[in-house]
């Protein structure tokens, strides 16, 4: 039997309702914060991601879905959302409008990775981006938005981890220093960390291997290398977080996997999940527009993993109560009355009601059972007896009460 491709899945029935709920809460929050929607293509030129995310990153090196189309173009399914939004921002000259500009998106992303809980090959992210301001208050707005979103969903135990990853002025010197420091200890580092010395020395600092921790114990922290501008910005971010009473933990080892991040980097961690507990990642990307061939335009944003949030909500039992029974099921008990019954069905629908009928020629009993199982509150019965008296039976499945009404009375009864 055919199955959905590895790392992909179908969202249906009750699960689809949960997705709708989450998306709705997100959209409402976006409205309040004045983020407007942007929808960008699901594939872009590969080059866009290589340049923005960074060719040395794992995402580019081993996780990107790349393909050639029939015209020989080198394309890639988007592995993340910010690059496409940035490309669109530039392509449409949005940097010429009054700044800042704020966007949100919700959609599928693709990474060729080994699937497991909270990690799919096609997964969904909802994210927000602010272009055109360096103001630390913009960083804080992104964080506050995220905190508000989770509060609205009912989360209580999320932790905000924050750090500054510096900028092209100060980060390279720290990386060089760290690389040299690590090289001296190379013999006591694990194979992964030896690799990290080349690719991302910052990551050696939070390696889980004990010998690596010990070796790097006396390594300097990034914050001692921050340039005045980065330092000032970071301090202001923390100060504003305090002013807004948003609890946070500074994690000097917090690094982002995407090269474009500068200054503020943060994550929201859900501690009750042991792995894949990072629900949201975000930060500032002041040079991303430039690396896409545009002028200097600072930016800051976040991306939230939809599947992971849903997993966390499952764990915390945060779903709103199920909808109460609603709608009308029209049970037609005599095939000869179908025309008349269907007319009534469409009249009810025309009044804006959820209405349904039977399409399998089932017994009245079976029809009522179906109505009950599928969450209808009312059953309207049309059979020989009703036809004879020009009446209908209106049964309230919730109350277990039944009354006789004429078709006109029925329509009037359900008139909003």
- Our CB check for RNA shows the closer of 90 and 368 to be 368
| Gap between the Cα atoms of 332 and 263, Å rounded | 67
Minimum CB separation of residue 228 from RNA in Å reads 27
Give the nearest distance from C-beta 288 to RNA in angstroms.
13
Shortest spacing between CB 295 and RNA, in angstroms: 25
Nearest distance from C-beta of residue 78 to RNA, angstroms: 12
220 phi-psi bin (left φ>0, alpha ψ -120 to 50, beta other): beta
CB 303 to RNA: min, Å: 5
Cβ proximity to RNA, 4 vs 408, nearer residue: 4
Shortest distance, CB of residue 257 to RNA, whole angstroms? 1
Closer residue to RNA (CB): 90 or 207: 207
How many angstroms separate the CA atoms of 196 and 178, rounded? 11
The one-character DSSP state at 412 is H
Q: Residue 181: how many CB atoms within 10 A of its CB?
A: 17
- Closer to RNA by CB, 162 or 368: give it: 368
Rg (CA), the chain: 28
Cβ at position 22, least distance to RNA in Å: 14
- Identify which of residues 28 and 396 has a Cβ nearer to RNA in the complex: 396
Closest to 123 (Cα-Cα) out of 56, 87, 77, 69: 77
In the complex, least distance from residue 278 CB atom to RNA, rounded to whole angstroms? 4
* Residue 59 or 355 with smaller CB distance to RNA: 59
Q: Are 358 and 332 in contact (CB under 8 A)?
A: yes
**At its nearest, how many Å lie between RNA and the CB of residue 196?**
5
Q: How many beta carbons lie within 10 A of that of residue 265, not counting itself?
A: 23
Give DSSP secondary structure letters for 290-311.
HHTT-----EEEEEEEHHHHHH
Which H helix or E strand runs over 203? none
Encode burial over 361-380: b for 16+ CB neighbours within 10 A, e otherwise: eeeeeebbebbeeeebbbbb
- Residue closer to RNA, measured from CB, 112 or 181: 112
Are the C-beta atoms of 171 and 224 separated by less than 8 Å?
A: no
Compare residues 35 and 376 and give the one whose CB is closer to RNA: 376
User: Closest distance between RNA and the C-beta of residue 107, in Å?
Assistant: 13
- DSSP three-state, residue 52: helix
Note whether 248 and 238 are within 8 A (CB). yes
Q: Which is nearer to RNA, 292 or 368 (CB)?
A: 368
Residue closer to RNA (CB basis): 73 or 315: 315
Instruction: Copy the structure tokens of residue 219.
Output: 């390594």
Nearest Cα residue to 374 out of 412, 330, 408:
330
How far apart CA 110 and CA 100 sit, in angstroms, is 29
Q: Point out which residues bind RNA (CB under 7 A).
A: 3, 5-7, 57-59, 62-63, 80, 111, 113-120, 123, 125, 192, 196, 200, 203, 207-208, 255-258, 267, 274-276, 278-281, 303-305, 307-308, 333-334, 362-366, 368-370, 372-373, 379, 381-386, 393, 395, 397-398, 400, 402
Buried b (16+ CB within 10 A) or exposed e, 101-116: bbbbbbbebbbbbeee
């Amino acid at each position: 039997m055919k199955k959905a491709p590895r790392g992909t899945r179908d969202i249906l029935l009750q699960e689809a309702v949960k997705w709708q709920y989450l998306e709705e809460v997100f959209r409402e929050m976006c409205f309040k914060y004045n983020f407007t929607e942007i929808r960008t293509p699901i594939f872009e030129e590969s080059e866009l991601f290589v340049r923005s995310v960074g060719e040395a990153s794992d995402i580019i090196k081993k996780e990107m879905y790349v393909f050639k189309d029939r015209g020989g173009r080198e394309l890639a399914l988007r592995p993340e959302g910010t690059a496409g939004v940035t490309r669109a921002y530039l392509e449409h000259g949005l940097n010429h409008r009054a700044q800042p500009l704020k966007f949100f998106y919700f959609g599928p992303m693709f990474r060729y990775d080994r699937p497991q809980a909270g990690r799919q090959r096609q997964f969904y992210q909802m994210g927000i981006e602010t272009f055109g301001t360096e103001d630390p208050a913009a960083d804080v707005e992104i964080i506050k938005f995220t905190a508000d979103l989770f509060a609205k969903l009912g989360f209580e135990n999320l932790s905000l981890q924050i750090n500054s990853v510096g900028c092209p002025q100060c980060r390279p010197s720290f990386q060089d220093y760290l690389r040299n420091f690590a090289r001296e200890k190379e013999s006591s580092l694990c194979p992964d960390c030896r690799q990290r010395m080349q690719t991302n020395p910052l990551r050696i600092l939070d390696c889980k291997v004990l010998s690596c921790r010990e070796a790097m114990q006396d390594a300097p922290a990034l914050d001692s290398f921050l340039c005045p501008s980065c330092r000032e910005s970071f301090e202001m971010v923390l100060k504003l977080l305090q002013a807004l009473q948003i609890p946070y933990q500074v994690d000097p080892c917090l690094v982002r996997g995407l090269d474009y991040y500068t200054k503020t980097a943060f994550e929201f961690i859900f501690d009750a999940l042991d792995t894949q507990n990072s629900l949201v990642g975000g930060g500032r990307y002041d040079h991303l527009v430039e690396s896409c061939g545009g002028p200097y335009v600072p930016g800051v944003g976040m991306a939230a993993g939809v599947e992971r949030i849903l997993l966390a909500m499952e764990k915390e039992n945060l779903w709103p109560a199920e909808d109460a029974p609603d709608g009308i099921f029209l049970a037609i008990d005599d095939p000869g009355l179908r025309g008349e019954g269907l007319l009534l069905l469409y009249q009810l629908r025309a009044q804006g009601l959820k209405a349904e009928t039977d399409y399998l020629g089932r017994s009245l009993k079976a029809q009522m059972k179906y109505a009950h199982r599928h969450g209808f509150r009312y059953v309207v019965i049309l059979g020989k007896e009703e036809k004879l008296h020009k009446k209908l039976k209106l049964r309230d499945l919730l109350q277990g009460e039944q009354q006789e009404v004429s078709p006109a009375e029925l329509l009037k009864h359900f008139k909003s």
